[in-house]
Amino acid sequence: MIYSMTGYASVTRELAAASGPGGASVSVELRTVNSRFLDLNFRMPEEVRACESTLREMLMNKLSRGKVDIRINVQRGEQGTNAGSANRQALDQLALLERAALAVFPEAERLRAGEILRWPGVLAESGVAPEVLRDAVLACGKQAVAELIDARAREGAQLAAMLLGNVTEMEAIVAKITPLVPELITKHQQKIVERLQVALGVAMPEGTASSSLSREEIAERIRQEVTMYGIRIDITEELSRLSAHLNETRHVIEKGGKVGKRLDFMMQELNREANTLGSKAAAKELADSSMTLKLLIEQMREQVQNLE
């Protein structure tokens, strides 16, 4: 399998109160985008902060690259915050503490109703025990990670199909132009010969002033120049390397796994050969093929950036 670095997963679980009214809703949301490294960002209530290390370990065991936003939300039931859920014993203790403090600091202000209700233990915001809440967060997190992996795998499969399609198209281009190279070089060399003959006076009419060079010397000079030019425009080596790089790219994609960095390197090598092919193109067919190859490689490069 090939995995994309982009994905989304969200899992919600409803928790009933152990006794009396109340309850809670726990949700874990994961969003990932591409990144050179693994970057984990947590947003969660302090009451479940203890789950962060376990969730971090879960993600690090499954992911190697990508920026991951982890959002955990705990929603209390409406009945969990009404007046009937106040802890009378905690209120009595708080009242004793307030009277003791006022006895020492008579000028201090008395507690306001909002402050009293926010005092730890005064309101049983939910009948859900802390350990039950943490277990629910971890269970949601485990399920969300599994769903995220599935989502990244589905998108990765689509990207792999697109990449293989481009590889197939480029292989067809290379196979098409490879047998044309000798003929194209020969035709172009013939044109060069004709131009040089005119330039060096070989094609001059009989009876004109003779050249400072003999015809044999001129012919040898033309032969040397055309041979050197043929070597410079010969793209057989570039086509051979292109074929090798395409074979390796196909192998990497079909093998699967964490291929993002490897494929990014292969795109650089393919682009290098396509550029060289374009610079040495001695015919329109070769120049057009080079341009098409570069467009296909650029399409692949953009998608490869999203692979893990």
* 68-78 tens-digit pLDDT: 999 999 887 65
205 and 149 in a common domain: no
Identify the pLDDT of residue 82: 47
Rank 129-133, 152-156, 181-185, 217-221 by mean pLDDT and report only the highest. Answer: 152-156
pLDDT of 204 strictly over 70 = no
Task: Supply 280's token pair.
Answer: 């040495």
Q: Is the pTM of this model over 0.75?
A: no
Domain range spanning residue 112? 87-118
Higher pLDDT, 189 or 253: 253
Identify the pLDDT of residue 254: 93
110 and 19 in a common domain: no
Identify the pLDDT of residue 78: 56
201 and 243 in a common domain: yes
Identify the pLDDT of residue 15: 84
In this structure, the number of other CB atoms found within 10 A of the CB of residue 183 comes to: 10
Return d(Cα 308, Cα 36) in angstroms, integer: 9
Residue 2 lies in a domain: no
Identify the pLDDT of residue 196: 62
222 and 135 in a common domain: no
Q: Any bridge partners for residue 42, and if so which?
A: 70
Which CATH number do you get for residue 234? 1.20.1410
Q: Worst-scoring range by mean pLDDT, 127-141, 180-194, 264-278?
A: 180-194
Residue 286 lies in a domain: yes
Model confidence pLDDT, tens digit, residues 24-68? 889 999 999 999 899 999 999 888 889 999 999 999 999 999 999
Last residue of a domain, one of 137, 154, 171: 154
Are residues 304 and 267 in contact, defined by beta-carbon separation less than 8 angstroms?
Answer: yes
Return d(Cα 286, Cα 278) in angstroms, integer: 7
Q: Any bridge partners for residue 182, and if so which?
A: none
pLDDT range class, residue 303, cuts 50, 70, 90: very high
260 and 180 in a common domain: yes
161 and 143 in a common domain: no
Which CATH number do you get for residue 34? 3.30.230
pLDDT range class, residue 119, cuts 50, 70, 90: confident
Cα R_g (the chain), whole angstroms? 37
93 and 40 in a common domain: no
76 and 26 in a common domain: yes
Rank 110-119, 144-153, 271-280 by mean pLDDT and report only the highest. Answer: 144-153
Residue 1 lies in a domain: no
Widest CA span of the chain, in angstroms?
Answer: 133
Model confidence pLDDT, tens digit, residues 14-35? 887 655 556 788 999 999 999 9
Residue 202 lies in a domain: yes
pLDDT of 184 strictly over 80 = no
139 and 12 in a common domain: yes
191 and 74 in a common domain: no
105 and 40 in a common domain: no
Identify the pLDDT of residue 156: 94
Residue 34 lies in a domain: yes
* Percent of the chain whose pLDDT exceeds 70: 74
Identify the pLDDT of residue 59: 96
Q: What is the 3-state secondary structure (H, E, C) of 255-268?
A: HCECCHHHHHHHHH
Residue with tokens 């599935």: 150
Identify the pLDDT of residue 20: 54
205 and 234 in a common domain: yes
Count of domains observed in the chain: 3
Higher pLDDT, 80 or 282: 282
pLDDT range class, residue 215, cuts 50, 70, 90: low
Last residue of a domain, one of 101, 133, 154: 154
Identify the pLDDT of residue 161: 95
Q: Worst-scoring range by mean pLDDT, 104-108, 120-124, 161-165?
A: 120-124
